Amino acid sequence: MGSGHDGEIGCQDNDFFVMAAFVVLPNQIPGTLLDNLFRFSTCSIAKFDSFLRSAACTRQSSSLPAFHLGGSEQLFDADEQCRLFLGPASRFCREATSQRVDCFESMCSSLLCLNPASPTQCREFLPFDETACGNGKFCEAGRCVSHTRALATVDGCPQGDDPSTPCEASLCPTYNACTKNILCCQTCNEPNICLLNTTTIHDNTYSVNHHHHNHNYHNYNFNNDYVHHYDMPCCDKTERRR
């Protein structure tokens, strides 16, 4: 389409538009810049406009109808997305997500997926839009929002049971709290109540406390794969009962 990275064509990469020279997740930048991750800078738009005006085929009229998938079903749930990102052994890290500020609503800015290469850790990815994040809520542009097309789910259990956990309703009274409230929240119908705590993330270049983003984002070190590692808390799958 004729456009380079923003820093190469007159705009700033650290405004985090689509054509920035690096990739970040929504929870890594100030909220005032969040929308930029999902739109093009004026520099990119000018380049696109110039390129398209020079191509004869784009000046032809079109009668193609508007298209929308419609419905209220998420195309890929969080577990399926994790398998797409990291392979068939991955899954959505419900345990770690339940320990974060904003609990499951936080998955819209940072979806945590089990890292098969290190099964006690989770890695971060940007989820697809319309991923269920609460009752009547889905992810949209990095935020968990209410919407009429969103699935009716249970707050604290928007993605249902953990697929790697064999949940049985008759055994729910014997499960420990983590298994009953998080891994088998749908079967046991006792979803997790979010804790107002914070989670600190670590990788090989820096640490960030999610409650206070105190790094200078204009001098951010992007020499990593934009995926952070969380230690898996809470649920010991070898000890499911009290």
pLDDT confidence bin for 19, thresholds 50/70/90: confident
Average pLDDT over residues 98-118: 91
Gap between the Cα atoms of 109 and 111, Å rounded: 7
Whose CA is closest to 25, among 240, 217, 232, 219? 217
Kindly report whether the global pTM for this prediction surpasses the value 0.85.
no
Higher pLDDT, 214 or 242: 242
- In degrees rounded to 5, what are phi and psi of residue 119? -65, -5
pLDDT confidence bin for 10, thresholds 50/70/90: confident
Average pLDDT over residues 111-121: 92
Whose CA is closest to 240, among 171, 162, 191, 163? 171
pLDDT confidence bin for 235, thresholds 50/70/90: low
